[in-house]
Amino acid sequence: MSAVEAVKVTKKYKGSLSFAIKNISLEIEPGRIFTLLGRNGAGKTTFVRICATQLLPTSGIIKIFEDDLIKDTEKIRNYISIVPQEGRPLRALTPWDHVYYWLRIRGVNKNESSIRATKVLQEFELYDVRNRLAMYLSGGMKQKILVAMAMATDSKLLFLDEPTIGLDPVSRRQIWKAIKEKKESGTTILLTTHYMDEAEQLSDDIVIIDKGVIISQGTLSDIRKNIKENIKVEISKSGVDSEVLKSYGTVIDSGTDILKLFTFESNIQELSAIAIKKNFFFKVSPITLDDVFVSLVGAEANSPDQFT
């Protein structure tokens, strides 16, 4: 049984000239972290909102744990939870109010709600400000309140739409730890993020969407195979013959004074000798998910008629 099964899901907003998403088909296995990657306007949030019963698809079929998204909407809402990209906590409520009463609304008894609220607020370093109104908290703390609300539930499926946006590195790692613990408890997680290190740290499966369609999907290892080379070299552009570099692999000119070369490990000794001889800047590192992402979607600006 799949946690999410989507078949040719399409969404076109009224008045739009293009599709927000088109013919999206994917399957999410239970107990895994499934990550959607894409530029702003690629269609990630649209797909998440459809799966979370916030939007109706224009066409296509989605089943959540075999329940039909259209026919069984209310049933599905009982076992999912979402951290929406555009979500904001209520200004006149405290972190405790948000988490505790959210659990009570979902049917958790008073004692258990109190225990869970205490635990998650401590985990996200919000307990000391649990009784402070949200309007007086920092943007990062407000974002953590939303994540805490979702994490405190026993939902079978969590939708996390850019949950760490605007957070400092320490807070991001707190969220990562909580996400991993949720997965270990059997929860399925659909994540969107613009942080490639986050996707590398957390993802079991990845789908890359561009202009509303899937352009690559698989495990992190599968996605990395989109670049055939296995090593990245950064070298000074000044004085370097890019045509010579092309004989060693794929050259990427990002418009800075540094060229990127995707090559193979067997070429490193020869390339480093050239750099040393000419006293060039030279840096060797593994090819990252960020490199693969940019190579797939390119760097051109999005169409103004695209959606999130």
| Tens-place pLDDT, residues 53-87 | 999 999 999 999 999 999 999 999 999 999 988 78
May I ask the CATH architecture of the domain 4-219? 3-Layer(aba) Sandwich (3.40)
Give the right CATH number for 231-286 from 1.10.3470, 3.30.70, 2.160.20, 3.40.50.
Answer: 3.30.70
- Say yes or no to pLDDT of 299 above 70: no
Predicted TM-score of the model (pTM): 0.87
The secondary structure of the chain as a DSSP string is --SEEEEEEEE--TT-SS-SEEEEEEEE-TT-EEEEE--TTSSHHHHHHHHTTSS--SEEEEEETTEETTTTHHHHHTSEEEE-TT----TTS-HHHHHHHHHHHTT--HHHHHHHHHHHHHHTT-GGGTTS-GGGS-HHHHHHHHHHHHHTS--SEEEEESTTTT--HHHHHHHHHHHHHHHHTT-EEEEE-S-HHHHHHH-SEEEEEETTEEEEEE-HHHHHTTS---EEEEEE-TT--HHHHHTTSEEEE-SSSEEEEEE-GGGHHHHHHHHHHHT--EEEEEPPHHHHHHHHH-SPPPPTT---
pLDDT digits (tens, 9 = 90+) for 127-169: 999 999 999 999 999 999 999 999 999 899 999 999 999 899 9
Q: Where are the domains of the chain?
A: 4-219, 231-286
